[in-house]
Structures are given as C-alpha cells and as structure tokens.
C-alpha cells in the first residue's frame, strides 16, 4: 500500500514523500503507524483515498493513505 | 481590579497634550484588555463617517491581558483605528515588545488623536509623554528609524515606526514593531496622516497580580503543554508555512497566479520525485535560517530571521518567511525563487507595506499587464509578467514612493487600482471590502469563504481562523466538517469568530489555539485579575467585542451589501488539481450569509438587533436607533 506523508512526518520515513509497505491482512490505522515507524501522536489527520478516517478504521493493501501532522500556521 | 492599571493615556497630537484618564472596573469586566478595550475606546472616541486620514481618526493601542505576565505566547497587542482601506473597523494584532513595556507603564492603553504639524515621535516613559521632532527620520525605512531611535535614547526603549509607504499615505501600509508588523488595514497611513513617525516606550512598574503563585504555577503548566505538543517542533523548525506542500498537493487550495490557479501548477506539475518547491519551508528553512525570532514570551517561536548570503539578492535579511508571504510574494506572483521572495519580504517590512496586500496588488497588475490593460508606454521598460521577480521588486519600490504611473496606480491596493484602471479589471481584483485576500483558495474551502466575506475588517483569515477546521475536518468542538459544503457554516464561523476575538483580547497567539482552546483562558484571567469567570463568560466577552466591531461598521453604513466575495471566487472555478471545479456560487454565498446572521442574532441586512445588543450589555455604548428590530 502507498502511504503519503507530509511535513514533519517525513523525517520518520527517511525524508521521502511516500512509502510503500505490504500488508497481507487488513489492519487498523494505529497498527499501520507502528509498522511504518511513525509516532501516532504526531499524526493529526489520516485520509484513506482522500477521505478522513479515524485511527481505529481498518485499511487494505490497495488503499492509498495520507498522513498529515498538526497545522498551526497561516 | 488587579492585573490592570485602571487608567489609559490620551494623547492629542494637534495640541501636543497628554492626559491620564481613569477607567473603572466595569469596563475591564465587559471588554477586558487588548482588542476588547481597544474596540471600546475606538468606538467611543470616534464618530461615524469621519475621514480616516483626518485628525478626527483615532488610534488605540492596548496589550492583551496576558502580555507581560509570563503566559507563554501571551504576546499580542491590539491596534484599532478607522481603516482608510475599507472605510470600516481597522484592527491589527502584533507581537510587540512595546506592548510589554506598556503593561509595565501604569496605563492599559494609549489613545492617539489629532495631527501634528510636523513629523513627530512619541517618547513615553511610564505615564509621561514627550513629543519629539522626527524631521531627521523622514523618509527613513521603518527598521532603520527604530534602530536610530534606540541608539539615541537607549536600548531599553521598545519601539514602532512607519516607513515610506506610511508617510506617503499608502492605504496598504502598516506599522513595524521591531520586525513584527501591525500590517493589515492601513494603520501605517493613519500614522502618516497624523505625522506620527514612531513611538518609543519604557515602563518600570510591576503589575500587581491577584494570585502570583497560581499564575506562576499555571505558566509552568502551559510551558510544558506547549513543549510537549506535537505541532511545536514543526512550527519551530519550519515556521507558519509548514503545511505549504500539503495545501498544494492534498487540498489544491494554495492560490497562485492571481487566483487563476488553485495550486502552484507551474511548480507542482513539474517536480520530480523527492524534489521540493523552492518556497517550501522544508526546502529553504534549514538553508537560510540564522536564528529564531520570537514574539514576547513565546516558547514555540515560528518566527525566524533568514539571511541570503550569495547571489543577486545577497545581503537580504528578514524576519520571515511566513505562510501568507509564501502566497502573496510567491505563488500568487508565480515566483518560486525563495531568495527573491525574501528580498520582497524585506522591502515590504522596511518600507512598511502589508506584505499580503502589496503582493496581491502586484499580482493584479501582472494579470492586467499580460492582458494588455496597462499603458505599456508608461511602464518605464518594466516587463511586469508573472514570474518576473525583478520587475515585482522594482514595482514594490515605486509603490512605496508613489512614483511613476505604476507606483501611483498600485500604492493603495487592488480596489483603488481597479477603480482607476476600469476595463473590468475589478473582476480579477482579489479583495473584500478593499482588503486583499490571504492565502487560502476559498473556492475550495467554503466555510473560510464565508469567514472572509463577513469579517469586519475585510478579507481577514484570523478574524475567525476557520481554515484549520475546514481543511482538517475537525478541531476543538467541530467534527465532520466538509470544506466543499455550504451548510451549517454560519454557526461554525460565528463561534470561531467569538473564540478568536478572545485570543486578541487576552493577547494569546492564535498559533497556540489548539493548545489553550477556550478552556485554558479563564483560570489565567482569574489568577491575574482576581475575578472569577468561567469559559462561558470568556465567549460572551468575545461575542460582545465582536458585536461592537460590527456596530462600528454599521455606523459607517457597511452592511450585508459589503459581505461579498471577489468575482473570481464566485465565477471562475478552480481549473485543476484536487479541488478542480470548486467555486462558491452566489446562491451558496447568500445561503451561508442568511445562516450566519441568524446564528449571530442579526437582521437579514446584518445589523445587530436591539435584543442582541441589550443581551450583550452594549446599549450604553452604541446608539440604539441604529440597531435592528422591535
Ligand atoms: S508562534 Fe510565532 S507568531 Fe505566535 S507568538 Fe510565537 S513567534 Fe509569535
């Protein structure tokens, strides 16, 4: 599955724009964080195929996930 | 009351007289400090329909209650005036060290009226005012002026000054406070019209807190909460533009090329894997940052000084670059050269321009130029096309001096420029009530479109600040917000405005609003003042102050007709990207306005009703005859 990461979260995935990981079984977003090595507390918004979801939702290998940190600025 | 001085300082520049006026506790209980009493005194000390650039206009400056108390990010002071740009309520918030001095001075606000016959600097020591000749600083940039004043009178004075644009009465000029700006709505021109070049201030008194031990304990708690918050590191490392890439790639709501695009198409359509836009803070911040530049008592400074050491913009040193400037001097001009953006940012700060308004005005001129609407013979050889940074820099300098055809045309912002030029150029003039829009493509953020349409000071992103709620979909009490829907936005914006107003009253930075929310404020207020208010009281104070600002506009005749959106937002859908096809139809806008006025308890033409004003205990200040209803 493709996980797009933004902002400060990139530093946990080797400064890449996205990572690809394989999840043979459907898994919750929270489990995904530990698999990908991203600390969950830094993730503010999780989106599955462009739609916001909560961290207890289950995702599949063919979903595209975006992880967005807190936004303060503007 | 504890924690305040129960006094304000009134200064008349015409007669060169100053007086201390006592203020009773009731005023603080109703309006508190900062934007609260600054709104109250502006309303009281002015009449409707005065000339904003005449001696009758008044400037009020008041630090928020938390300023000078050690509350982390309690750093903001409020300035109010009648805006020469919008003709309505003018407000600018600033992280001013001068505000900290005022908190220690023995007065809670200064109220300046009249007009000096010659350029003048106000030197204020505690409650004592001196009127100092400022002839020697005439024409000097705002930052140099302050440096010279501190050299002459001592570094313990904290300062503010206007640059050339303010002296030349540009309606998009602001006031610089040691490289933080009270930028928006034309306060610089109001200073200029009064021949007021600068203020320097020093205070050496100690605020008497109701419960100093409790305050110390609370401050410690908040320092820790802020330190541990997941957003803090990102803000400190990359500043307010941290979410720039996401705005382009995942939301498609970063307006570019004078809002012809909803994301920076010419950059993002050509980036290769791993490459970054050059105005993305993740690209430039590690490269150019020299040091942090915090507002007073900020423990999570987003502010930074950046320096360009090589190349044609070598020597540029500026506090920035904030998110809004990435938009106004970057994307909207189609410039992805961070060094050029830094240079323009520096010119804006030194000459005293509001960088949002100045950039958006040049973007308008670029579109007009490319469409062949400008008189090329009078352009003095400047090829003002999108992406041409050197042309933009030259034009900016001319605007500050009101020099030549293009400098004169643009010096007062997009509304004045489009009126002068005609030829339907208002259809791409990106302003509301005269104030240029900030960097959110509200065609794809409909609640934010409403927030900009109804804001009392024109297109202001911080009056409600709902961009985070809309773009993230949830925040504080808000859940499941759909940015492309126009339903329920009236209620969302109303509550967000009242909450944001309380931040401006207490002087808390809105970049810490997801830390303090509402709930953090009452106990801090109570430790400082000895009052015993709860969160509901805080919201009521916010609502009261917001209604008084609205009544200021109603007194000027600024009602529903002025709560509009730029033509481009209502007629030209976003052409490409994640938000492709989005725009706000006229029906959607009217639907959102109806709902917003209902949520506010205002009439259909947006006038607060007598019942609403009575419930907010405002009828002793406002003239009931201009209220709606009954
Ligand atoms: S977060 Fe930024 S704007 Fe807010 S107080 Fe700190 S330095 Fe100033």
B457 backbone dihedrals φ, ψ, rounded to 5°:
-105, 20
Query: Cβ(B144)–Cβ(B85) under 8 Å?
Result: no
Per-residue pLDDT tens digits for B118-128: 999 999 999 99
pLDDT tens, residue by residue, B428-438? 999 999 999 99
Q: At what angle do helices B521-529 and B212-228 cross, to 10 degrees?
A: 150
> CA triplet B245, B250, B255: central angle to 5 degrees?
65
Q: Which residues line ligand 1 (CB under 6 A)?
A: B 73, 75, 95, 294-295, 298, 300-303, 509, 511
**Closest to B376 in 3D by CA, of B401, B405, B399:** B405
Measured from the Cα of B293, ligand 1's closest atom is 7
- Does the pLDDT at position B536 exceed 90? yes
Length of chain B: 630
Gap from B472 CA to chain A (nearest CA, Å): 7
Cα–Cα distance between B290 and B305 in angstroms, integer? 6
- pLDDT over 90 percentage in chain B: 97
Is residue B175 a contact partner of residue B187, using CB atoms and an 8 Å limit? yes
**B130 pLDDT tier (thresholds 50, 70, 90):** very high
Average pLDDT over residues B166-186: 98
| pLDDT the model gives residue B630 | 62
Contact between B98 and B159 (Cβ < 8 Å): yes
Ligand 1 atom 6 nearest Cα: B301
User: What is the C-alpha separation between B510 and B527, in angstroms, rounded?
Assistant: 21
pLDDT in tens, B215-259: 999 999 999 999 999 889 889 999 999 999 999 999 999 999 999
- Min CA distance, A27 vs chain B (Å)? 23
Residue of B nearest to A50 (CA): B250
Using DSSP's 3-state secondary structure scheme, residue B531 falls into: coil
Find all residues with CB under 8 Å of A32, minimum gap 6, and list them.
A3, A21, A23, A59, A65
pTM score of the predicted model: 0.97
Tens digits of residue pLDDT in B590-601: 999 999 999 999
- Chain position carrying tokens 């804006």: B348
A41 touches chain B (CB under 8 A): yes
Q: Would you call the peptide bond into B321 cis, given omega within 30 degrees of 0 as the criterion?
A: yes
Which residues in chain B have their CB less than 8 angstroms from residue A66's CB?
Answer: 250
Q: What pLDDT does residue B519 have?
A: 95
Q: Contact A1/A20 with Cβ under 8 angstroms?
A: yes
Neighbours of B370 (CB within 10 A): 14
Q: Which of residues 11-40 of A touch B (CB under 8 A)?
A: 16-17
Tell me if B409 sits within 8 A of B365, measured CB to CB.
Answer: yes
B379 and chain A in contact, CB less than 8 A? no
Name the token pair of B575: 């052409």
B251 to chain A: closest CA residue: A50
Residue from B75, B177, B181 to probe ligand 1 pocket by mutation (most atoms less than 8 Å from CB)? B75
Alpha helices in B168-211 (DSSP H): 187-193
B55 pLDDT band (50/70/90 cuts)?
very high
Strand blocks (E) in B405-542: 431-432, 435-436
Count of beta carbons in the 10 Å neighbourhood of residue B17: 12
Q: Pick from A8, A45, A72: which is nearest to B514 by CB?
A: A72
**What does DSSP assign to residue B115?**
-
Residue B475 touches chain A, beta carbons under 8 Å: no
Helix axes B389-401, B355-370, angle to 10 degrees: 120
Chain B residue closest to A52 (CA)?
B473
Domains and CATH numbers, chain B: 7-202 (3.60.9.10), 229-250+256-396 (1.10.569.10), 442-626 (1.10.599.10)
Half-sphere exposure of residue B431: CA atoms within 13 angstroms, side-chain side: 31
CB contact under 8 A, A7 and B465: no
pLDDT tens digits, one per residue of B379-417: 999 999 999 999 999 999 999 999 999 999 999 999 999
Average pLDDT estimate for B169-196: 98
Helix (H, G, I), strand (E, B) or coil at B517: coil
- d(C-alpha B10, C-alpha B535), whole Å: 32
Look at B624 and B227; give whichever has higher pLDDT.
B227
Neighbouring-strand partners of residue A11:
none
Alpha helices in B564-604, H assignment, sequence order: 567-571, 586-600
The atom number, within ligand 1, closest to the CA of B95 reads 8
Identify which of B72, B73, B291, B324 to mutate to test ligand 1's pocket (most ligand atoms within 8 A of the CB).
Answer: B73
- If you search the block for the tokens 């000054």, which residue do you land on? B161
Residue in A50, A66, A71 nearest the CB of B472? A71
Retrieve residue B323's tokens. Answer: 């998110």
For residue A72, name the pLDDT band (cuts at 50, 70, 90).
confident
B282–chain A Cβ distance below 8 A for any pair: yes
Q: What is the per-residue pLDDT for A71?
A: 79
Cβ burial of B148 (10 Å; 0-12, 13-18, 19+) is middle
Q: Could you give the CA distance from residue B298 to residue B226 in angstroms, rounded to a whole number?
A: 10
pLDDT-wise least confident of B2-6, B13-17, B34-38, B474-478: B474-478
Give the separation between CA A2 and CA B11, rounded to whole angstroms: 63
Nearest to B241 among A41, A47, A73 (CB): A73
B255 and chain A in contact, CB less than 8 A: no
Question: Counting Cβ atoms within 10 Å, is residue B186 exposed (0-12), middle (13-18) or buried (19+)?
Answer: buried
- The per-residue pLDDT for A59 is 94
Chain A residue nearest residue B302, CA to CA:
A73
Could you tell me which of B406, B258, B428 has the C-alpha nearest to residue B327?
Answer: B258
Rounded distance between C-alpha atoms, residue B498 and residue B96, angstroms? 23
Backbone phi, psi, residue A66, to 5°: -120, 135
**In this model, does residue A73 exceed pLDDT 80?**
no
Average pLDDT over residues B557-567: 98
A5 touches chain B (CB under 8 A): no
Helices assigned H by DSSP within B290-430: 323-328, 338-351, 355-370, 389-401, 404-410, 413-421
Nearest to B230 among A10, A41, A45 (CB): A41
Tens digit of each residue's pLDDT (9 = 90 or more) over B318-362: 998 999 999 999 999 999 999 999 999 999 999 999 999 999 999
**Which A residues in the span 42-71 are in contact with B, Cβ-Cβ below 8 Å?**
42, 44-45, 47, 50, 52, 66, 68-71
pLDDT tens across B448-483, in order?
A: 999 999 999 999 999 999 999 999 998 899 999 999
pLDDT at B40 over 70: yes
Q: Taking the CA atoms of chain B, what radius of gyration do you get in angstroms? A: 23
Q: Mind listing the domains of chain A with CATH numbers?
A: 2-69 (3.10.20.30)
Query: What digits encode the pLDDT tens for the residues A18-61?
Result: 999 999 999 999 899 988 899 988 898 999 988 888 888 999 99
**What is B257-289 written as a DSSP string?**
TTTTBSS-HHHHTTPPTT---TTSHHHHHHHHE
Q: First vs last Cα of chain B: how many Å apart?
A: 37
Q: Is the predicted pLDDT of residue B93 greater than 70, yes or no?
A: yes
Q: What is the pLDDT of residue B373?
A: 98
* B 72-131 → A contacts, CB under 8 A: none
Beta bridge mates, B181: B176
B contacts of A7 (beta carbons < 8 Å): 234, 238, 242-243, 245-246, 282
Summary mean pLDDT of chain B:
97
């Amino acid at each position: 599955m493709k996980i797009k990461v933004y902002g400060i979260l990139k530093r946990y995935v080797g400064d890449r724009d996205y990572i690809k990981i394989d999840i043979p079984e459907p898994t919750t977003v929270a489990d995904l964080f530990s698999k990908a090595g991203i600390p969950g507390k830094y993730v503010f918004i999780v989106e599955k195929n462009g739609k916001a979801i909560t961290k207890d939702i289950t995702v599949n290998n063919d979903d595209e996930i975006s992880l967005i940190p807190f936004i303060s600025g503007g | 009351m504890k924690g305040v001085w129960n006094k304000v300082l009134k200064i008349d520049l015409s007669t060169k007289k100053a007086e201390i006026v006592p203020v009773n506790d009731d005023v603080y209980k109703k309006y508190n400090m900062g934007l609260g009493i600054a709104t109250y005194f502006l309303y009281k000390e002015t009449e409707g329909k005065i000339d904003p650039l005449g001696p009758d206009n008044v400037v009020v400056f008041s630090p928020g209650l938390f300023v000078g108390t050690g509350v982390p990010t309690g750093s903001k002071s409020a300035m109010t005036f009648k805006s020469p740009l919008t003709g309505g309520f003018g407000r600018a918030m600033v992280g001013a060290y001068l505000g900290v001095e005022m908190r220690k001075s023995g007065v809670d606000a200064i109220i300046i009226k009249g007009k000096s016959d010659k350029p003048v600097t106000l030197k204020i020591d505690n409650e004592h005012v001196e009127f100092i000749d400022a002839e020697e600083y005439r024409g000097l940039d705002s930052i140099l002026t302050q440096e010279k004043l501190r050299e002459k009178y001592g570094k313990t004075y904290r300062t503010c000054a206007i640059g050339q644009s303010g002296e030349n009465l540009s309606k998009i000029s602001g006031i610089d406070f040691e490289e933080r700006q009270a930028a928006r709505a034309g306060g610089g021109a109001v200073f200029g019209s009064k021949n007021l070049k600068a203020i320097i201030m020093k205070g050496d008194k100690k605020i008497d807190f109701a419960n100093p031990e409790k305050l110390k304990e609370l401050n410690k708690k908040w320092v820790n909460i802020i330190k541990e918050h997941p957003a803090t590191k990102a803000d400190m490392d990359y500043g307010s533009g941290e979410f720039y890439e996401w705005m382009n790639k995942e939301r498609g709501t970063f307006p570019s090329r004078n809002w012809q695009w909803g994301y920076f198409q010419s950059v993002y359509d050509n980036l290769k894997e791993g490459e970054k836009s050059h105005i993305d803070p993740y690209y430039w911040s590690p490269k150019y940052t020299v040091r942090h530049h915090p507002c007073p008592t900020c423990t999570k400074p987003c502010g930074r000084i950046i320096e360009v050491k090589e190349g044609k913009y070598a020597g540029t040193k500026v506090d920035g670059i904030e998110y809004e400037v990435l938009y106004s001097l970057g994307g909207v001009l189609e410039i992805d050269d961070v060094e050029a953006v830094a240079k323009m940012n520096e010119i804006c700060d030194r000459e005293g321009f509001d960088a949002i308004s100045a950039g958006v005005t040049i973007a308008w001129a670029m579109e007009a130029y490319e469409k062949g609407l400008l008189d090329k013979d009078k352009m003095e050889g400047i090829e003002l096309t999108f992406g041409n940074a050197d042309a933009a820099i030259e034009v900016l300098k001319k605007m500050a001096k009101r020099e030549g055809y293009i400098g004169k045309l643009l010096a007062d912002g997009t509304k004045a420029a489009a009126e002068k030029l005609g030829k339907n150029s208002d259809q791409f003039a990106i302003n509301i009530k005269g104030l240029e829009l900030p960097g959110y493509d509200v065609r794809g953020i409909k609640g934010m479109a409403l927030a900009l349409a109804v804001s009392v000071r024109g297109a202001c992103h911080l009056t409600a600040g709902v961009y985070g709620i809309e773009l993230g979909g949830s925040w504080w009490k808000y859940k499941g917000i759909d940015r492309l829907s126009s339903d329920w936005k009236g209620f969302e914006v109303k509550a967000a405005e009242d909450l944001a107003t309380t931040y401006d009253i207490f002087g808390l930075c809105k970049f810490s609003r997801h830390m303090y929310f509402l709930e953090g404020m009452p106990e801090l207020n109570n430790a400082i003042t000895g009052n015993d208010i709860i969160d509901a009281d805080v919201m009521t104070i916010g609502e009261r102050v917001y209604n008084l600002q609205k009544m200021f506009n109603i007194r000027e005749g600024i009602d529903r007709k002025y709560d509009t959106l730029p033509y481009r937002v209502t007629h030209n859908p976003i052409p490409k990207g994640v938000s492709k096809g989005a725009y706000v139809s006229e029906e959607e806008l009217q639907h959102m306005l109806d709902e917003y006025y209902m949520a506010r308890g205002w009439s259909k033409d947006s006038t607060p009703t007598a019942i609403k004003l009575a419930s907010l205990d405002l009828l002793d200040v406002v003239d009931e005859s201009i209220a709606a209803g009954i």
